[in-house]
A and B are shown apart, each in its own frame.
Chain A
Amino acid sequence: MEGGARLVDITNTQSLPYPDCNDPGDGALDLQVLAEAIDAKLVASFANFRAIVNRPAFIVGLLANQTGFASGSTADIVWDNVIWDSTTIGVGVGSGITFTDPGYWMLGCWISSVPSGGVTANSKLLIRMSYRGDLYIPVGGVHTESTAAANFQSNTGGEDIVVTQLVRQEYDGVALPGTGGGSVTINLSHGNVASTLTVNSTSLVWGFKVCNLEDM
């Protein structure tokens, strides 16, 4: 039967080919088509599990202290140091940290700040983490979430605040590069009228993909 028409059956669930009962099953092609079919299944399975194990994640920081956060106003921290990045396209830094992989993401930040001079005792310090993500439907739609944590500046050793939140990111930004995906912004406001605040370079923003969206 080599080179001629062949009779092939397939298994019920994985559609793996094998010679039917009228075929002696001794042809090299029988093994090749089975090997190729198994190969395709395994390639897909490896890719699926590797996508989980090698989950996208990022850690972003500051190359230097960021100074001049004045009381009574809200200002974004501008990030400029990618410490770790395993996202598909790569994170973008700036006042918004952009990332594109869809899924449920855990985001967090540690903001370390210190007054540049005097301290207004018990003045409020607020760190807000805001997420903005583009939606598939409606086209051009935007999904936003934010959370915040506050503290009071009652000591001269500076303040350290941690904020975390889980977000759902739909649009991977691949179809329309530069227009899709999500971004996370950290802004700071405070009431320390005695001096401006400095955000220390030890501060970090991080994120990791927890799992796929339910329809992926």
Chain B
Amino acid sequence: MPGSTSLGIPYPYQGETVTAQSWEDLATAVDGLMTSLDTIRDLAESFETAQISGGSVSTATAVTATIANYSTTSWDTSGWVDLVTNPNQITVPPGLYFVNGYAFISGGTTYTMARLQIMAAGTPWAVRTTDGTGTSSLLLASVSGFVMCTAATTALTLSGRWVGTGGPATFSTARFQAVKIRALANV
């Protein structure tokens, strides 16, 4: 019965015969540990992230509408984006995410306010209101937030709302991005 280190690297006790198997067992254990270390190093070095862009939605005043029909997947490191099936979302596994969204609005006559909100499974996690007395167009500042996703998969979406006259107004050239900050459970 060999001894082993805290990580389970086996070695023969003193007095036991050292054989080729002793060396193989040690090397195999170290190989496995280094493979595990490679996995954690990859997680440490590479963030999972995606960005979709080109989305738009037209909506009447005082109505919240989800921006959809994103046309471009700018990047997608972990398969979170399927614009054919879900053209309005980034679908993520459990974790903590930093999310950012941005859009222009146009098409209304006057604007009292416009609002962008980041939603996770339909619940807002960050909202930014921009008030203004603009006329033909209104540029929205981006909205960013830290989102906790606990379900097996969570749809992250970006919604727009405005109040004013005229319209419907269009939120367009939207950009929506997410990056995973960490898993919910420690690795």
Are B187's CB and A208's CB within 8 A? no
Are B125's CB and A204's CB within 8 A? yes
Are A161's CB and B128's CB within 8 A? yes
> Residue B146 at the A interface, CB < 8 A?
yes
Residues of B within 8 A of A206 (CB): 145-146
Q: How far is A141 from B41 in the complex, measured between Cα atoms in Å?
A: 36
> Residue B33 at the A interface, CB < 8 A?
yes
Q: Flag the segment in A23-31, A64-72, A128-136, A183-191 that touches B.
A: A23-31
Q: Whose C-beta in chain A lies nearest to the C-beta of B19?
A: A26
Q: Whole-angstrom distance from the CB of B113 to the nearest CB of chain A?
A: 5
Interface residues in A42-78 (C-beta closer than 8 Å to B) = 42-43, 45-46, 49-50, 52-55, 57, 59
Residues of A within 8 A of B109 (CB): none
Residues of B within 8 A of A174 (CB): none
Please pick, from A49, A155, A202, the residue contacting B131 in the complex, using a CB distance under 8 A: A155
Please pick, from A38, A49, A86, the residue contacting B41 in the complex, using a CB distance under 8 A: A49
> Residue A95 at the B interface, CB < 8 A?
no
Q: Whose C-beta in chain A lies nearest to the C-beta of B6?
A: A39
> Residue A162 at the B interface, CB < 8 A?
yes
Q: How far is A34 from B44 in the complex, measured between Cα atoms in Å?
A: 28
Are A28's CB and B148's CB within 8 A? no
> Residue B40 at the A interface, CB < 8 A?
yes
Q: Flag the segment in B22-30, B70-78, B168-176 that touches A.
A: B22-30
A31-B12, A108-B145, A160-B129 given as contacts; is B113 within 8 A of A39 (CB)? no
A31-B18, A208-B146 given as contacts; is B7 within 8 A of A42 (CB)? yes
Q: Which B positions have Cβ atoms within 8 angstroms of A?
A: 3-7, 9-16, 18, 22-23, 26, 30, 33-34, 36-37, 40-41, 43-44, 96, 98, 112-113, 115, 117, 124-131, 133, 143-146, 148, 163, 181-183, 186-187
Q: Using A28-B15, A57-B182 as known contacts, list a sample of 17 further A-B pairs with CB atoms less than 8 Å apart, ordered by residue number in A.
A: A2-B14, A2-B15, A29-B14, A32-B14, A35-B5, A53-B43, A53-B186, A54-B183, A55-B181, A59-B96, A83-B148, A110-B145, A122-B131, A151-B131, A153-B131, A160-B115, A161-B129
Q: Which A positions have Cβ atoms within 8 angstroms of B?
A: 2-3, 26-32, 34-36, 38-39, 42-43, 45-46, 49-50, 52-55, 57, 59, 83-84, 86, 106, 108, 110, 112, 122, 151-155, 157-162, 164, 202, 204, 206-208
